[in-house]
Structure 1
Amino acid sequence: MDCIGVRELRLWAHVGVLDHERRDGQWFSVDFSVQLDLKASAVADDLSGSLDYSVAIQALQDLSQHVRCLTIEHFSEQMLDRLDNLYGSMPTWLRLTKCAAPVPGFNGRVFVERSRHGGRSAL
């Protein structure tokens, strides 16, 4: 199965267990892919057999401006819901990364990786 994906979409959102994370916001990074058959679109050079990834980018940017929640798990669920609403029931994979987790002495990143409808694609 083919896929269309987006890597490293940076979003500012008010998500986190700590009060200041929800109040002040912080950076997140999102990678996602949607699996579909792109053969007809590729052969005919016709977008009607594909999907418009810019619509997904805009939808996730909009969501990040309005979301207020405790967990990245919940934030990722809302993202998957948005992608389902846009493209229907297609195999979808998403990784949501918190760019700076507030853990003393930790400089890494924390992420959740989710999929729906059996979707999994390496980006």
Structure 2
Amino acid sequence: MSEPAWTFVCATGELLPGEMKSVFDEVTGAPIVVFNYDGDLYALEDQCSHEEFELSSGNFDADEASIECVLHGARFDVRDGRALCAPAYSPVPKFPVKLEHGGIWTRDDRE
């Protein structure tokens, strides 16, 4: 079985610390948001686990490594996707990120 395809996010210099960028997985079509938290890259499904709404329209707090959903105020840790406060109790899926050929890549690796 072959490895799932990686989706190009952007060139490495286009996602600076404190910034985020959203893409769609080229195979599954899943929305993914990639965060640069203090030079480390993390990717989560771009959808709140409380209600189906895009996280990327919310506020990325680069000091606390969290993203807040603008719909109801649920917050998630960008490093692992865990819910930090109500009304969300379930984490959002985390995806792998790699740096290769001068770019940032991610993929939906769920079975």
TM-score interval, smaller chain: 0.3 to 0.5
**TM-score (norm: length of structure 1):** 0.31
More helix by proportion, 1 or 2? 1
Higher Cα Rg: structure 1 or 2? 1
More strand by proportion, 1 or 2? 2
**TM-score (norm: length of structure 2):** 0.33
